[in-house]
Amino acid sequence: MSGPRTISLVARREIRERLRSKAFLSSTLLILALVGGSVLLARVVDPGTTYRVAVVAPVPPGLAPALERAAQPFDDAKVQLRVVTSARAGRQVLEDEQVDALLLLSDDRLVFRSEIDAKASAVADTAVRALRRHLPPEPELATETLNPPEEEPGDAAVLVAYAAGLLLFMSLAFYGQWVISGVVEEKNNRVVELILSAVRPQHLLAGKVIGIGLLGFAQLALVAGLAAALFVGGAFDAPAALGGDIALVLPWFVLGFALYAVSYAVAGALASSQQNAETAGQPITYTLIAVFFAGYVALSADPGGAIAGLLTVFPLSAPLVLPARSALVGVPPWQHALALVLTLASIYALVGLAGRVYAHGLLHGGARMQLRSAWRLIHQP
Amino acid sequence: MATDMLAERDALRESTGVRESTGPGGLVLRRLSKRFESVLALDDCSFAVPRGRMLGFLGPNGAGKTTAMRAVFGLVRVDAGDVLWDGRSVGLDERLRFGYMPEERGLYPRMPVGEQLEYLGRLHGLTATAARRATRRWLERLGLQDRCAAKVEELSHGNQQRAQLAAALVHEPELLVLDEPFAGLDPLAVRTLAEVLRSEAARGAAVVFSSHQLELVEEICEDVVIIDHGRVVATGHVDALRRGSQSRRMELELDGAPPGWLPATAGAELVHRRDGEVRLLVERDVDPELVLAEARDVARVVAFSYGPPSLADLFLELVAR
């Protein structure tokens, strides 16, 4: 029988078995509720945005009500006008953070301090157009900033970075645990003997990892997809570009899962019959935790620094660190490429090695296989 | 009398349709050797299971039966020797046409019985439809049709055994290898299993099973192989092996014999004694008339029988420690 057919049969069985347990459905619903809830929470905590806009006198009649009307569709945002005597005075209050934007009607410009607020500029644009009875689509106002954009990542970027890292860490640990408990259970209740009489161990391993990985991916795609859509749709008061960083979580889950789930499966195959899945998986879980915290510390200290850069491309940490760092300060394309190549190479090496150890470990009843004999097995021709 | 018994059993076998001819092909274990650390589990072990035949695989605990069976499925890598099917070395493609009941039973505990059998059928290459049909047929045959949707862990011990049997049979294997299939079964289940195995052999499958229930093996198998310390110590037709033995079995039922009476005839070995019954093994060339005459001198002989030793006697003779 062909390998792909066997792998797909095994993978489909894994998916059916996990869906039967309800743990998957309830955890998915819980995480979706958390993401949805965070939007709701943001609304409750922040009942409505008020844009403070400075305008140089004289203010044309009708500007204030036009701004109010234009702001209404944006979650009932309010606009507070402040009249200044000159453009110069306006720049001063903007610099002093007394207002969020300066509207210069004489030369059709809207000036922000250091970052352009897409919503505020849309509101001002709409209002001015209405006032002048112009039709879309040409923008009425050019936007600019007083200062170059700040180097420090914004609050939203930090939140996205850590949420992405945490989500990846939890997904890898959670679904990795499913893999190892599946392997240990199969081994302990001896069903593996029956399965391996008809299936190559590599195909069993592949089917199991792919089946559980697909479930994890589906869950993450729902969660990350919802979050990314909320960002792009402007549900959060944050740059839409962060939505792309959230989407990065998905390919890196696939890569990270391939790496860690195969390791978990091998650890499960090598476990003795007395060991349960949790203790057998400890070395992998500890590695995952160590990598997560190393990434956290390195990114908090200096997201652009050498250590953060190293962790971005190192295969064991890349899946957790790269998406987070991308949200914080961006990752240069060559580092994306290097991380991808190194991680893929590690997966390739690991899968080749795992095939042998897995087969031997599963059939090695009773005592735990010594590392030494596992090593011999890997090196025999 | 003994000859009558054998004839009667041969007639029984004929009626179940088991083919007596040794057709070409089937399973051959050729000179298998396997060492685990200091233990030699298989030592130049060779035997064959032709298609359409049922072979009883006997040996004391630790003799290497399970290792030999696992070797057929590639679950243990032998140090030397070959496993052949129809003359060709056995690989995964051949194994898909084999059915296996491992020594340590195991199915997915939380998976419904029917779904599980379908899955195993499909892993062995059946289409979804064929797997479903075969599952239904075996569940009905084994009386599990009501339990199709039940999880394996919810089944009684006996039903779990039946599900395990169905798992070995669902893909209509050409070779059936069963490790202690009769262990722990009640007499009704023993009868059902024996019938299933007979009909599988009649269908043309090669059937081999290990067992310690020697009376049962004697009753249902035409061929046996006996191994000890990984070596084959006897192989062949059950009756031929029994007739070829150097000893004969003698059973007397005596009325009024002095307690502890034994015939003085040379080489008589007491196997069993209860109330008036005495079971002996004697040398093959001992004249039964002499023993009978001796018995008549001391008691009234209610019953007397003489014939080849039973398989159990033979087993003990061959693997005496």
B22 pLDDT tier (thresholds 50, 70, 90): very low
Please state the rounded mean pLDDT for residues A19-26: 83
A153 pLDDT tier (thresholds 50, 70, 90): low
Residue A183: closest C-alpha in chain B: B108
Closest CA to A268 of A175, A375, A361: A361
Quick one: fold of B2-242? Rossmann fold (3.40.50)
Q: Among A234-243, B227-236, B286-295, whose mean pLDDT is lowest? A: A234-243
Q: End of a domain among A123, A145, A167?
A: A145
CA atoms A14, A19, A20, A25: torsion sign = positive
Say whether B110 and A20 touch across the interface (CB within 8 A): yes
Q: End of a domain among A96, A117, A145?
A: A145
Q: Is the pLDDT of residue B2 over 50?
A: no
Closest CA to B96 of B106, B107, B85: B85
Q: Is the pLDDT of residue A378 over 80?
A: no
Element (H, E) at A78: strand A78-84
Say whether B104 and A190 touch across the interface (CB within 8 A): yes
Across the interface, of B100, B107, B115, the residue whose CB is closest to A197 is B100
Q: Among A144-148, A173-177, B48-52, B140-144, whose mean pLDDT is lowest? A: A144-148
CA atoms B100, B103, B105, B108: torsion sign = negative
B18 pLDDT tier (thresholds 50, 70, 90): very low
Does residue A171 sit in the same domain as residue A193?
yes
* DSSP code string of B174-189: SEEEESSTTTT--HHH
CATH 3.30.70 domain residues, chain B: 245-318
Tokens linked to B78: 């032998």
A139 pLDDT tier (thresholds 50, 70, 90): low
Residue A182: closest C-alpha in chain B: B108
Does residue A127 sit in the same domain as residue A257?
no
Closest CA to A24 of A231, A183, A155, A174: A174
Say whether A194 and B98 touch across the interface (CB within 8 A): no
B144 pLDDT tier (thresholds 50, 70, 90): very high
Write out chain A residues lying below 8 Å of B131, CB-based.
none
Across the interface, of B73, B115, B125, the residue whose CB is closest to A197 is B73
Q: Among A269-278, B145-154, B169-178, whose mean pLDDT is lowest? A: A269-278
Q: How far apart are CA A50 and CA A14, in angstroms?
A: 52
Q: Which of A9, A16, A194 to mutate to test the interface with B (most CBs of B within 10 A)?
A: A194
Buried b / exposed e along A50-78 (16+ C-beta atoms within 10 A): ebbbbbbeeeeeebbebbeebbeebeebe
Q: Which residues of A touch B (CB under 8 A)?
A: 1, 6, 9-10, 13, 16-17, 20-21, 186, 189-200, 363
Residue A14 burial (10 A CB sphere; 0-12, 13-18, 19+): buried
* pLDDT at residue A367 in the model: 43
Please state the rounded mean pLDDT for residues B165-191: 94
Say whether B110 and A17 touch across the interface (CB within 8 A): yes
Does residue A236 sit in the same domain as residue A340?
yes
Q: Is the pLDDT of residue A140 over 90?
A: no
Across the interface, of B106, B109, B111, the residue whose CB is closest to A194 is B106
Does residue A102 sit in the same domain as residue A17?
no
Does residue A135 sit in the same domain as residue A176?
no
Residue A226 burial (10 A CB sphere; 0-12, 13-18, 19+): middle
Tokens linked to B203: 């269908």
| CA–CA min distance A15, chain B (Å) | 12
Q: What percent of chain B has pLDDT over 90?
A: 66
At B283, give phi and psi (nearest 5°). -60, 150
Tokens linked to B116: 């599980």
Across the interface, of A1, A16, A195, the residue whose CB is closest to B125 is A1
* pLDDT at residue A273 in the model: 65
B253-272: pLDDT as tens digits: 999 888 888 888 767 788 88
Q: Is the pLDDT of residue A46 over 70?
A: no
A163-196: pLDDT as tens digits: 888 888 988 998 999 999 888 888 888 898 899 9
Does residue A168 sit in the same domain as residue A293?
yes
Q: Which residues pair with A112 in a beta bridge?
A: A101, A145
CB atoms under 10 Å from CB of B67, counted, come to 21
Q: How far apart are CA B135 and CA B113, in angstroms?
A: 9
CATH 3.40.50.300 domain residues, chain B: 2-242
Where residue A64 sits, what CATH number does that domain have? 3.40.190.10
Report yes or no: A110 and A124 within 8 Å, Cβ to Cβ.
Answer: yes
Q: Which residues of B touch A (CB under 8 A)?
A: 70, 73-76, 92-93, 95-96, 98, 100, 102, 104-111, 115, 119-120, 122-125, 167
Residue B126: closest C-alpha in chain A: A1
Q: Is the pLDDT of residue B134 over 90?
A: yes
Does residue A77 sit in the same domain as residue A178?
no
Q: How far is CA A228 from CA A30, A188, A224, B227, in A?
A: 18, 42, 6, 68
Report yes or no: B280 and B272 within 8 Å, Cβ to Cβ.
Answer: no
Instruction: Determine the CATH number of domain B245-318.
Output: 3.30.70
Report yes or no: B120 and B167 within 8 Å, Cβ to Cβ.
Answer: yes
Element (H, E) at A230: helix A201-232
Which residue range forms the structural domain that includes residue A81? Answer: 49-145
Write out chain A residues lying below 8 Å of B166, CB-based.
none
A189-232: pLDDT as tens digits: 889 889 999 998 889 999 999 999 999 999 888 888 888 777 77
B12 pLDDT tier (thresholds 50, 70, 90): very low
**Mean pLDDT, all residues of chain B:** 88
Does residue A59 sit in the same domain as residue A179?
no
A260-311: pLDDT as tens digits: 999 999 888 888 766 777 788 899 999 999 999 999 999 888 888 889 999 9
Q: End of a domain among A145, A165, A181?
A: A145
Closest CA to A316 of A260, A233, A354, A380: A260
Q: Which of B108, B110, B152, B175 to mutate to test the interface with A (most CBs of A within 10 A)?
A: B108
Q: How many domains does chain A have?
A: 2
Q: Which of A2, A13, A183, A191 to mutate to test the interface with B (most CBs of B within 10 A)?
A: A191
pTM of the model: 0.77
Q: Is the pLDDT of residue B7 over 60?
A: no
**Mean pLDDT, all residues of chain A:** 82
Contact pairs from chain A to chain B, CB under 8 Å: 65
Tokens linked to A18: 């996990």
Q: What percent of chain A has pLDDT over 70?
A: 86
Across the interface, of B73, B92, B105, the residue whose CB is closest to A200 is B92
Instruction: Decide which of A341 and A116 is more confident.
Output: A341
Closest CA to A194 of B302, B43, B196, B170: B170
Report yes or no: A6 and A203 within 8 Å, Cβ to Cβ.
Answer: yes
* pLDDT at residue B1 in the model: 43
Across the interface, of B98, B104, B111, the residue whose CB is closest to A193 is B104
Instruction: Decide which of A228 and B81 is more confident.
Output: B81
Residue B101 three-state SS: strand
* pLDDT at residue A109 in the model: 80
Q: Is the pLDDT of residue A6 over 90?
A: yes
Q: How far apart are CA B149 and CA B238, in angstroms?
A: 42
Say whether A17 and B111 touch across the interface (CB within 8 A): yes
Instruction: Decide which of A364 and A301 is more confident.
Output: A301
Place of tokens 């349960």: A276
Say whether B123 and A16 touch across the interface (CB within 8 A): no
* DSSP code string of A295-349: HHHHHHH-TTSHHHHHHHHSTTTHHHHHHHHHHHT---HHHHHHHHHHHHHHHHH
Q: What percent of chain A has pLDDT over 90?
A: 24
Does residue A110 sit in the same domain as residue A228?
no
Cis bond leading into A137, ω under 30°? yes
Q: Is the pLDDT of residue A57 over 80?
A: no
Q: How far apart are CA B166 and CA B149, in angstroms?
A: 15
